[in-house]
Amino acid sequence: MLIVRDSQRRDLQAANDADIAMIADGYRDKGVREAVEVVRQRLAAPPIEVAGVRAPSSYLLIQGSGGERLAGNLGPIPVRTGVFDVRVATGGDRAHTVDVRGRGVLLGPGVYVFAGRDWRVIAETRSRILYAFAWVAAGAAVIAALAGWFLGSRFMQRVDTISRTCEGIIAGRLSERIALRGRGDEWDRLAGVINEMLNRIATLMENLRQVSSDVAHDLRSPLTRLRNRLEVARSESTTAAEYAAAVARALEDTDQLLAMFSALLRISQIESGTRARAFSTVSLTELAQRLFEMYRPVAEDHRQELRGDIRPDVSIRGDPELLMQMASNLVENAIRHTPSGSVIRLCVGTEAGAAIVTVSDNGGGIPSEERGKVTRRFYRASTSRSAAGHGLGLALVSAICDLHHAVLELADAAPGLIVNVRFAREQRG
């Protein structure tokens, strides 16, 4: 608004100066009479509207040397040159005055001219601009509201679709998914991501349900066994030694149950994936050497032979403690489930740039139809039921492999079992 006002002020002043120039031209050419004529002509111009009333477009005055008015639409004023304000009464009423700003000039000896304009014009223009702005803004608001309502209703439709699906899921209809419109727009992308999330949750839920029913089922038998033993001890033991033996057995059973629980807990911790944050560079070479030194005497005590084929400088990103447990479980499985005289191999190497850990034996192996099931919780292959264990070892291995994005393969070593853990190729740099 300031800019508008400034430029208007300049315009008004320029108009005043133009009036004065015309009058001065007339005076210079033909004297006072002509100058008076020019003033009269200028004042014949149609009036303009200012603040709701008709008013002259300009205020002019030409005075003679006696200070008398020769022509003009305002009374005689004291001779003063330069730009100044003159208060002019309108309609002969003192109460109605306007401030006229203009310039006073002496044309010749005693001939004085003043040309001015009503400053309220500026305020007038300003309010007109504001008025126009208000209209434009109101129009824009109406258009925006209409467009918003239109877009919003489409938006709400999509949101409704998603929230209906979510409400269905909250109500227990877990298989519900958000229908895609097939347009490939951002809504479809969002719906796709939400559906994927729901699938993942469903898998986890199914997993959880499976685990709880496994736990309920598989903990029954050791608990029943424990209960039986205690019952027998109560009814049949008579001496302190017999009681002590019964208590010792009961403790063993309890320990096995506790081991089972901690293994389950560990699996679920690993599956939750939070350990992935603690990954560091792990030398599989060093880890396997440690493991080899650790289990060679154990295998010897079982009259088995542990051989190592460990290549240098094989390393991956991972969790050292979990990787140790994984490899240790595989070696222990081989030691526990093969007869004496067996040869067990622990190999670490690379295949096409990807690290691979292999534990193989020449023992009884696992029948092909059971190989897919041994990584399940509590599953115990028919060939290994007699051996001690809780059926969670390979489930743990499998969970650790998943965490490291490694593939666990069980195959026939003819004779024996070969277990490969294939890690993903390391992305360097």
Partner 1 sequence: MKVLLLEDDQELATSLIGRFGDIGYGVDHFSDGCEALAAALQRDYGALVIDRMVPGLDGLSLMKELRRQARTTPAIYLTTMAGIDDRVEGLEAGGDDYLVKPFEFVELLARVRAITRRSEEAATRLVAGTLEMDLVQRTVRREGQPIELVPQEFRLLEYLMRNANRTVTRKMLLENVWGIHFDPHTNVVESHVSRLRAHLNEDFAADPIQTVRGVGYRLLVAS
Strand duo 59-63 + 111-118: pairing: antiparallel
User: Segment contacting partner 1 (CB under 8 A): 113-121, 191-199, 233-241, 262-270?
Assistant: 262-270
Task: Tell the smallest beta-carbon distance from residue 298 to partner 1 (Å).
Answer: 5
Q: Cα–Cα–Cα angle for 241, 245, 249, nearest 5°?
A: 170
User: Segment contacting partner 1 (CB under 8 A): 94-102, 212-220, 263-271, 346-354?
Assistant: 263-271
Contact between residue 355 and residue 316 where contact means Cβ atoms under 8 Å apart = yes
Which secondary structure element, helix H or strand E, spans residue 125, and what is its range?
helix 120-170
Binding test (CB under 8 A) with partner 1, winner from 69, 158, 290, 371: 290
Distance CA 173, CA 416 (A): 47
User: Segment contacting partner 1 (CB under 8 A): 171-179, 266-274, 341-349, 377-385?
Assistant: 266-274
321 binds partner 1 (CB under 8 A): yes
Strand duo 417-422 + 343-351: pairing: unpaired
Nearer to partner 1, 105 or 298 (CB): 298
274 binds partner 1 (CB under 8 A): yes
User: Segment contacting partner 1 (CB under 8 A): 111-119, 215-223, 299-307, 405-413?
Assistant: 299-307
Both tokens of 235, joined, read 């009814």
Contact between residue 391 and residue 377 where contact means Cβ atoms under 8 Å apart = yes
Handedness of CA 215, 217, 222, 223 (dihedral sign): positive
CA distances from 226 to 209, 212, 221, 253, 375 (A): 26, 21, 9, 6, 27
User: Segment contacting partner 1 (CB under 8 A): 99-107, 292-300, 347-355, 421-429?
Assistant: 292-300
Task: Tell the smallest beta-carbon distance from residue 260 to partner 1 (Å).
Answer: 11
**Footprint of partner 1 on 200-259 (CB under 8 A):** 258-259
**Footprint of partner 1 on 322-341 (CB under 8 A):** 322, 324-325, 328, 332, 335-336
Mention every residue, 6+ apart, whose C-beta is less than 8 A from residue 312.
285
286 binds partner 1 (CB under 8 A): no
Residues that bind partner 1 (CB under 8 A): 258-259, 262, 265-266, 269, 274-275, 278, 290, 293-295, 297-298, 300-302, 319, 321-322, 324-325, 328, 332, 335-336, 388-389, 393
